[in-house]
Amino acid sequence: MTSRGTPSRFLKSVLQNGVGRYVCQLKRISIVFSRKGQSSLGVRDFIEEGVVDYAKKNPGTVVYVSPQPKSLPKIVAEYLNGNIREECIKNKTSQEVLEVLTKLTNQSGLDVIRIRKHFHTDSPSIQGQWHPFTNRPPSVGPISPQHPRRKED
């Protein structure tokens, strides 16, 4: 927490993601819905039409479809870092369910918070910070006091 009262942190990459190959942080999706509920109509349409396509596009993510009687439809996303997110998809269309799934797939599992700086390093330089006079030519030299001239007699 900062003095503003909102949580913040430095920018960081999850598991150095993107340094080598990209690793999707989403490991498991559970789609919970009701077989007969009106609020699950769009979810049932998505399961009939688009869940196989989603699973083919995301082979690293396990997709579970679990019908539960008299339950509100929701998507439970589990990430590699152990975080779990739940999104309510009550009364959403098939396209809106796909948008929610895509959003959850593209996230890292970390909480969305304010970034303090747009840069951060795990191994700061031991040479110190750069400033405009770092590479100044030595001929210019620092400003030094003038020596008084001696009068020649």
The predicted-structure confidence for 112-128, as pLDDT tens digits, reads as follows: 777 777 766 667 666 66
Whole-model pTM above 0.85?
A: no
- Quick one: average pLDDT of 101-109? 87
Is residue 153 a part of any domain in this protein? no
- pLDDT score at 13: 63
Is residue 122 a part of any domain in this protein? no
Is residue 7 a part of any domain in this protein? no
Q: Could you list the residue range(s) of the whole structural domain that residue 69 is in?
A: 19-109
- Quick one: average pLDDT of 45-58? 91
pLDDT band (50, 70, 90) for residue 146: low
Is residue 116 a part of any domain in this protein? no
Per DSSP, helices labelled H in the chain are: 41-49, 51-57, 94-106
Is residue 29 a part of any domain in this protein? yes
- Cα distance between residue 107 and residue 79, in whole Å: 9
How many folded domains does the chain comprise?
Answer: 1
- Quick one: average pLDDT of 8-35? 76
Is residue 98 a part of any domain in this protein? yes
Is residue 23 a part of any domain in this protein? yes
Q: What is the CATH number of the domain that holds 92?
A: 3.40.30.10
